A and B are shown apart, each in its own frame.
Chain A
Amino acid sequence: MKKIKNTVILVLGLFSFSLAFSQQKAVIRGRVIDKADRMAVIGATVIEYDQDNRVLNGTVCDVNGDFVLQMKDPNHEVKVVMIGYRTKVIPTGGAGTMTIELESSNIELGEVVVTARKKEENSLINIEDRDIASSRVKIDMVEMRDVGVVSASDALQGRVSGLDIIDASGDPGSGSQLVIRGLSSMGNNKPLIVIDGIPQYMTPSDFDLSSADQEDISNLINIALQDIKSIEVLKDAASTAIYGSKGADGVLLIETYKGRLGKVQFDYQYKKTLNFQPRAIPMLNGDEYIMLQLEEWHNKEGIFEIPPEIAYDRDYFNFHNYSANTDWIGAITQNAVTNDHYFNISGGGEKTRYFTSFSYVDEGGTTISTNAKRFSTRVNLDYFLSKKILFSVLFSYTNNKVDGNLSLEKRNIREMAYVKAPNMSIWERDVHGNPTGEYFTPINSYQGSGSVFFNPVAVARLGKDDRVENSLQNSFTLSYNLLNWVKLRETVSFQFGGDKRNNYLPYNAIGADWLSWTINKAEEGNNMYSSVNTETQLAFDSPFDSSNHVLSGALTWITDQSNYEWMNIQGNKTPSTGIQDPAINPQINWIGDGSGSSRGLGILLNLNYKYKDRYMIQTILRSDAHSSFGSNHRWGLFKGLSGAWRFSQESFMKSIPFLGESLLRMSWGVSGRQPTDPYARFATYESTNLGSYIRNYPSIVNRFVQLDNLKWESIETVDVGLEMLLFNDRLSFEGVIYNKTTTNLLFQNYYIPGSSGFDSLKFFNGGELGNRGWEIMMEYRLIQKKDFRLSVNANISHNINSFKQLPANFNREQSTSINNGEYPKRVIQGQPIGSFFGFRYEGVYSTDEDALARDAAGNILYDNEGIPIPMMFQSTYTFKGGDAKYADINHDGKIDLNDVVYIGDSNPDFIGGFGASLKYKSIEFSCGFHYRLGFDIINGVAMETEGMDSRNNQSKAVLRRWRVQGQDEKDMLPRAYLNHPANNLGSDRYVEKGDFMRLLNVMIGYKLKPEICEKLKLRTLGISFSARKLMTFTNYGGQDPEIGQDASDPFWIGVDNAKTPPPRMFTFTMSAGF
């Protein structure tokens, strides 16, 4: 109990100062050492406080940890403060020499802090971390500073149970996808990011129409990794209810470093990373491709006229352009280098403390012409105006510049490189075989139109798709201690940002002539947003002085207002490739703009009560209003109730020697989600887009249906957890089971019958989605000696997702198409999102005679005339030898929609990670693994490169194809056949287990001894080497099994479409402190 009180005093004390003087004087001397390794703590601050907790005097320890402090009054308390350590209060009782042991405030760098006795500043709840009874995990980021990751999401991967992080793409500047405890809504499942108490702006759905198909630059990329002190993940609704309508998809609280009392310190870190693309799927070379094509033609046509491109006709004028052996994947892949510079200055006196940092990252991409540069800076400033008033300013600015490549006709550079004919050359040659210096981009190639089957190297090199993003954030906080136990805090924060996109496709990058509409296409788009948030909080602690009853709480009033606007212009046929501005004289293809604003209010009441440090109960009640709802559904109520029992404090438990502080907790809560379009509820009319009827009368038609029933989607979680510290606090364990139910799911663009006069409702609330599962996190400090420490950690989580209930009129089948390359899409009540349906693939018919209809017992079926019934695809195609064989589920002799069955699921059963860290004297070693188990992937790349039914290039796997009647080999692929109607149907042939385990990070570092640093006039100096994604253990046949989830579409299925896989990275880090 005392400790808590001290903490409260400390919190208050830190914010106060005084000019008062006392008369008596005394000198104290001492040495400050680390309690664990008994080494001197350099730079700790020793401060004298008076009875009112006003700072009177202070000093800083020298390199030996020694200090001398002249006290104003020997009766005053002395506090020893050091960043990274718990503050210690010493009643001196007069002069003397003492040794002060400081305890590290973090159990271990980079580990889960479960019991830090600290109150979060600027938090919406007023409670100590160790008493929190809801499900949260806090990760310390110090360790990740030296690892070769660029963004916070990379650093979190595999480290928090229940948090699934998937790299969207290995291209630089692309974000990651974060899913907390399974897909829980039909939105994009982006957790709310809160940086230093400021919820980050979330883009509305109709914002940035120009880049709707692009991944956003995630908020997590916008912050330099080295600035982050810790990240806290709020997982259950009892804790996310604090964020009300924004917390439905989980919340990540990011805390950055702040200034601290002491001498000014400089830190510099440099990281150099080499990025290597993993080995690509081997593709056919030009000769093998031509052979395959000839076979496809032959099987289709019998006798045919060989197209000149594949005829080996030396007289053909394009002979030299079509007789190459081009490795297209190789041609668009490169090894790249990332440079990361980071510099910060921090320090402060009694009145002012500051932390400021600068970071510059130049990230090279492993696909040619891709690159991302980020500059970011941050200033955190605390100013103690008076004993009772603290004024804080946070400022951050980020500039991101991402150079990407265009995607044409829905294929990106890499996808094109996979299918592009390898007998075509990159560079054009004339009739005699001399290079012309131009890219080879025929208007019509053997594969088809030059703008569809473009030259990926030319598009990457000549085209551009650049984006510059700026974001600026500024917040001001004023804290005022009204009474001893009541504090008023007012925070106002501003966020302002936007991005600008530019893309250009010159005529010579694709096969198009000057008359074509698509040439020299330039596009420019601008987006801008601004938002203002305010938080007014009245926080109070126990007004009564009782160690048995502790009460705390806060009443908070929150407002937010945001505005956005966008503009986009697209022009075609700019007069020259030198003119890439769509506004200069081209044929304007379209111009669009839009804007909007939204407002929200929230009232939050939080009450915490604790009895005898054993029984805790916490309540959260938040009421939110948002302008996107009509007045009937405007206010939403979000609530959380959690309780905990610290059973280790019970007297009957004290006898158990190995039990440390342990907690059993339960929580229940409801949080919500609002639609992303602030104006969705209005019935709108629009001018008919083209034309007027007679005499230029204005003409107006209905556009969107008014949404009277639009309401909050609500997510309810029940969570039971057990936290234990065992064996002298060396083993920490946390186990949780939860049940999460989303009701009134917000569907976007919900289809309604055409007889209504409309196609869809903008939003629709309905249905129920469930996620339940369990999570375990463990950490064990195996060895804990002065010079040798070893600890291991592991986490695992399991989640089961299911559509508990579908809306009454929900269209369960989105596509019943069973053509080549397509999977029919269905949603079934009780099944998870992301279930696959398709045919069962049973290999290849060895001979024509094998392709017969059979009954359930395997007997051949005969027609009336005694002739065996052949196997048909629908009723249009008769299967022959060499064709793919599909299971005829209903034994009707026809492969059709009735034979479609469930063939897989894209949701992982288990996710997690494990790692170890070792410290021996000055050498550190750590490694981390990440795994996802029990999910299936549709290998879309194989589907496109093993079908052998088109003129696209195929992978080397097709060398195992069926060629002659009777051929029957293991793993044989069907025959090559141009435009075969059924050889490449959506079947389990392409469904593969995605299970993988990956050595995510491995790092070895060396820190110079303090004595040596001293000689070098440095505070610290360290070097380290690390590798990222070094090894992956998987049976998946595609390039990378890390496939993102997309719950914006209930019909989503996980298809691997050859996004750039995350590269292997080797990083050298050097950091120095002055």
Chain B
Amino acid sequence: MKKGNRKIFAFILVILIQVSCSDWMEQLPPQGLIREEFWKTKEDVEAVVMGAYISFADMDDLLFKFGEIRADMVKGDINQPDDEQKIMEGNIYPDNTLCAWNMFYKVINDCNDVIKFAPKVQGIDNTFSDYLLYGFLSEAYFLRSLCYFYLVRVYKDVPLVLEPTETDASNVYLPKTNGDEVLVQIRQDLENIRNYATIDGYPTFAETRGRATKASIDALLADIALWTFDYEACISHVQNIEASIKYKLMPSAEWFEIYYPGNSFEGIFEIQYDNNLNHNNKTAGLTAQYSYNYDPSDHALELFAKKYAREMVRGEDASIKKYSESDFIIWKYVGMAPDGETERFGSVANSCNWIVYRYADVLLMKAEALSQLGRFSDALAIINEIRNRADVPPLNIADSKTAYEDAIMDERALELAFEGKRWFDLLRMGRRNNYSRKSKLIEIIIRNVPSTQKRILATKLTNPMGWYLPVYELEMERNKNLVQNPFYNF
């Protein structure tokens, strides 16, 4: 059998030739980036931070819609999608596609990824300094907090996801967290990271407007504080911004430069678009003359063109533009100059920034906080500073919180028209002092709905849960741990 043994040996050899080490089984994709090959350098971290900004920038139309269509400053035109019309008229059901929160959570997941992996990269990349690391982290925390702040204002209670969805073993079936707890979490995060954020340490001026800075974190903190009626905190956060010499109100003559060319001294956080980089906004498409999506509402026209005929800086040909007696459009995002003449063209047509926070906004936040604390004269000074810049006469307001609240509401409507602020301002008013001005809020909301709907909607909206959107039907179906907003649970 010696011969046989040799054969068996040969056979085993044949097998061994076929089995090499287990590397043979390790097949990596020829295209694309996989996690095993990623998170190696600081550039990788930066790329994901930029990816998160891009994903956030994908939502400018959503921010416009969430901030405006349920409020009273815009109206739908013939091209307004059906789902958006339903929301505008208060016919909101969970199957409305606008209720999907996926895009916010996409940004949140990328931010969570940065927060988790960036510190690990520092162990691999020697050139990754603490300064850079914490800079990136501050941007990630800022974007994540901003997303949650929007989510809380739109849905009230939402799942609080603080870990990236790394693998299929991650728990993706999280229940909702109370909106107040979410706000506590993000305030904490922002306050912790604020000191590491840069003031203007970016290579270009555009980046000091387009990426998170100390001032943008302060602005967000002020906004959150105001939303939670923590007026002292709000004032102190705004004071932090005021203390920086980097921000100031633009002069009256240059007011329109806030929007074109944008990135003004007044901007605190603006989402940047650049057609040359093939990165286009959607606001121009929503508001341009022939888009027939959204036009200024009758109430907006009243504010700008009729009641305040002297609104020269912010009014006709600046915030809005009149083509005919019945044809007005929103001019901020499509015009070249406050002349109502030249529309932006070519490469700048879709390059207009979406302004999340600007100086006038935070000043008015402070005014609101001051007035609610009874410091009326300080508040009035700010209001009149804004009005002065707008070339309209100063106001005299009776020393009552309500009077100030109304005056600031109107001032914000004029100054920040169509900037995705109005609905949240109204909600803040409606929620204040245990819903004491609920009826005022409802009165404003039903201004904009068809007359047949007014009565029904007014009754419906006495339940404050109806001010928030339902969880999208598909999301409810995919996540059994979610509880629908009781207002929509029928």
Measured CB to CB, the residues of A under 8 A from B are: 482-483, 488, 490, 534, 536, 538, 557, 559, 594-599, 601, 625-628, 631, 634, 678-679, 682-686, 688, 690-703, 705-710, 751-759, 761, 764, 809, 811-813, 816
- In the complex the two chains form, is B161's CB within 8 Å of A755's CB? yes
Chain A residues, CB < 8 A from B169: 708-709
Chain B residues, CB < 8 A from A679: 27-29
- In the complex the two chains form, is A755's CB within 8 Å of B174's CB? yes
- In the complex the two chains form, is A757's CB within 8 Å of B29's CB? no
Max count, chain A CB within 10 A of own CB: residue among B25, B30, B109, B168: B168
| Cα-based distance from A707 to B172 in the complex (angstroms) | 13
- In the complex the two chains form, is B35's CB within 8 Å of A685's CB? yes
Nearest CB in chain A to that of B202: its residue:
A694
| Cα-based distance from A442 to B206 in the complex (angstroms) | 51
**A848 → B minimal CB distance (Å):** 25
| Cα-based distance from A686 to B106 in the complex (angstroms) | 13
- In the complex the two chains form, is A694's CB within 8 Å of B480's CB? no
Could you tell me which residues of chain B, from 469 to 490, have a CB within 8 Å of some CB in chain A? 472-475, 477-480, 482
- In the complex the two chains form, is A757's CB within 8 Å of B159's CB? no
Given known pairs A701-B110, A706-B166, A751-B478, the reply for A691 and B279 (CB within 8 Å) is yes
Given known pairs A627-B27, A691-B280, A758-B165, the reply for A488 and B7 (CB within 8 Å) is yes
Given known pairs A692-B277, A702-B113, A811-B478, the reply for A596 and B50 (CB within 8 Å) is no
- In the complex the two chains form, is A694's CB within 8 Å of B172's CB? no
**A631 → B minimal CB distance (Å):** 7
Chain B residues, CB < 8 A from A754: 100-102, 105, 472, 474-475, 478
Given known pairs A693-B279, A754-B102, the reply for A813 and B110 (CB within 8 Å) is no
- In the complex the two chains form, is B7's CB within 8 Å of A708's CB? no
- In the complex the two chains form, is B50's CB within 8 Å of A757's CB? no
Chain A residues, CB < 8 A from B274: 691, 694
Nearest CB in chain A to that of B176: its residue:
A755
Given known pairs A536-B18, A693-B50, A699-B51, the reply for A816 and B109 (CB within 8 Å) is no
- In the complex the two chains form, is A536's CB within 8 Å of B15's CB? yes
B308 at the interface (CB under 8 A from A): no
B31 at the interface (CB under 8 A from A): yes
B47 at the interface (CB under 8 A from A): yes
Query: Could you give, for residues 216-252 of chain B, a 1 whenever the CB lies within 8 Å of some chain A CB and a 0 otherwise?
Result: 0000000000000000000000000000000000000
| Cα-based distance from A534 to B14 in the complex (angstroms) | 11
Can you spell out 16 A-B residue pairs with CB atoms less than 8 angstroms apart?
A: A490-B14, A534-B18, A536-B14, A688-B51, A688-B54, A692-B277, A692-B279, A695-B203, A705-B167, A752-B478, A753-B172, A754-B101, A754-B102, A757-B108, A757-B109, A809-B480
Instruction: From the candidates A595, A601, A697, A707, name the one contacting B50 in the complex (CB within 8 A).
Output: A697
**B102 → A minimal CB distance (Å):** 4
**A604 → B minimal CB distance (Å):** 13
- In the complex the two chains form, is A753's CB within 8 Å of B18's CB? no
- In the complex the two chains form, is A708's CB within 8 Å of B106's CB? no
- In the complex the two chains form, is A685's CB within 8 Å of B48's CB? yes
Instruction: From the candidates A594, A596, A627, A816, name the one contacting B95 in the complex (CB within 8 A).
Output: A816
Chain B residues, CB < 8 A from A596: 27, 29-30
| Cα-based distance from A682 to B174 in the complex (angstroms) | 23
- In the complex the two chains form, is B47's CB within 8 Å of A756's CB? no
Chain A residues, CB < 8 A from B15: 536, 557
Chain B residues, CB < 8 A from A698: 43, 46-47, 50
| Cα-based distance from A806 to B112 in the complex (angstroms) | 31
Nearest CB in chain B to that of A598: its residue:
B27
**B289 → A minimal CB distance (Å):** 21
B443 at the interface (CB under 8 A from A): no
| Cα-based distance from A691 to B272 in the complex (angstroms) | 11
- In the complex the two chains form, is A597's CB within 8 Å of B27's CB? yes
Query: Could you give, for residues 146-176 of chain B, a 1 whenever the CB lies within 8 Å of some chain A CB and a 0 otherwise?
Result: 0000000000001101001111111011100
Chain B residues, CB < 8 A from A559: 18
Given known pairs A597-B27, A691-B277, the reply for A702 and B173 (CB within 8 Å) is no
- In the complex the two chains form, is A756's CB within 8 Å of B109's CB? yes
Chain B residues, CB < 8 A from A707: 167-168
| Cα-based distance from A490 to B14 in the complex (angstroms) | 9
Given known pairs A536-B15, A701-B52, A706-B167, the reply for A694 and B105 (CB within 8 Å) is no
Nearest CB in chain A to that of B34: its residue:
A682
| Cα-based distance from A434 to B19 in the complex (angstroms) | 76
- In the complex the two chains form, is B53's CB within 8 Å of A702's CB? no
Max count, chain B CB within 10 A of own CB: residue among A601, A686, A753, A764: A753
**B295 → A minimal CB distance (Å):** 27
- In the complex the two chains form, is B477's CB within 8 Å of A693's CB? no
- In the complex the two chains form, is B280's CB within 8 Å of A756's CB? no
Given known pairs A594-B31, A694-B207, the reply for A811 and B477 (CB within 8 Å) is yes
**B201 → A minimal CB distance (Å):** 14
B38 at the interface (CB under 8 A from A): yes
Could you tell me which residues of chain B, from 12 to 36, have a CB within 8 Å of some CB in chain A? 14-15, 18-19, 22, 24-36
- In the complex the two chains form, is A682's CB within 8 Å of B36's CB? yes
- In the complex the two chains form, is B27's CB within 8 Å of A699's CB? no
- In the complex the two chains form, is A693's CB within 8 Å of B25's CB? no
**B10 → A minimal CB distance (Å):** 9
| Cα-based distance from A701 to B27 in the complex (angstroms) | 23
Given known pairs A699-B51, A758-B109, the reply for A601 and B19 (CB within 8 Å) is yes
Nearest CB in chain A to that of B161: its residue:
A755
| Cα-based distance from A705 to B112 in the complex (angstroms) | 14
| Cα-based distance from A75 to B169 in the complex (angstroms) | 74
**A90 → B minimal CB distance (Å):** 33
Chain B residues, CB < 8 A from A678: 27
- In the complex the two chains form, is B34's CB within 8 Å of A755's CB? no
- In the complex the two chains form, is A755's CB within 8 Å of B47's CB? no
B335 at the interface (CB under 8 A from A): no
Nearest CB in chain A to that of B106: its residue:
A757
| Cα-based distance from A554 to B55 in the complex (angstroms) | 57
Besides A488-B7, A627-B25, 18 more A-B contacts (Cβ < 8 Å) are A625-B25, A679-B29, A684-B29, A686-B32, A691-B274, A691-B277, A692-B50, A694-B206, A694-B207, A698-B47, A698-B50, A700-B44, A706-B168, A755-B174, A756-B172, A757-B112, A757-B164, A809-B478
| Cα-based distance from A754 to B147 in the complex (angstroms) | 14
Max count, chain A CB within 10 A of own CB: residue among B44, B204, B478: B478
- In the complex the two chains form, is A683's CB within 8 Å of B34's CB? yes
| Cα-based distance from A634 to B472 in the complex (angstroms) | 38
| Cα-based distance from A789 to B34 in the complex (angstroms) | 67
- In the complex the two chains form, is A701's CB within 8 Å of B25's CB? no
B115 at the interface (CB under 8 A from A): no
Chain A residues, CB < 8 A from B102: 754, 759
Chain A residues, CB < 8 A from B345: none
- In the complex the two chains form, is B210's CB within 8 Å of A694's CB? yes
| Cα-based distance from A682 to B26 in the complex (angstroms) | 12
Query: Could you give, for residues 107-139 of chain B, a 1 whenever the CB lies within 8 Å of some chain A CB and a 0 otherwise?
Result: 011101100000000000000000000000000
| Cα-based distance from A932 to B172 in the complex (angstroms) | 43
Nearest CB in chain B to that of A593: its residue:
B31
**A87 → B minimal CB distance (Å):** 29
Nearest CB in chain B to that of A811: its residue:
B477
Given known pairs A482-B4, A693-B279, the reply for A538 and B11 (CB within 8 Å) is yes
Nearest CB in chain B to that of A703: its residue:
B32
| Cα-based distance from A199 to B475 in the complex (angstroms) | 42
B367 at the interface (CB under 8 A from A): no
- In the complex the two chains form, is A693's CB within 8 Å of B172's CB? no
Instruction: From the candidates A684, A764, A816, name the one contacting B168 in the complex (CB within 8 A).
Output: A764
- In the complex the two chains form, is A709's CB within 8 Å of B207's CB? no
Chain A residues, CB < 8 A from B55: 688, 701
| Cα-based distance from A693 to B143 in the complex (angstroms) | 14
| Cα-based distance from A751 to B26 in the complex (angstroms) | 27
Sorted nearest first, the 7 A-B pairs with minimum C-beta distance are A757-B109, A691-B279, A754-B102, A699-B50, A701-B51, A756-B172, A753-B479
Could you tell me which residues of chain B, from 159 to 201, have a CB within 8 Å of some CB in chain A? 159, 161, 164-170, 172-174
- In the complex the two chains form, is B54's CB within 8 Å of A683's CB? no
Given known pairs A691-B278, A757-B105, the reply for A700 and B48 (CB within 8 Å) is yes
Nearest CB in chain B to that of A812: its residue:
B477
- In the complex the two chains form, is A699's CB within 8 Å of B30's CB? no
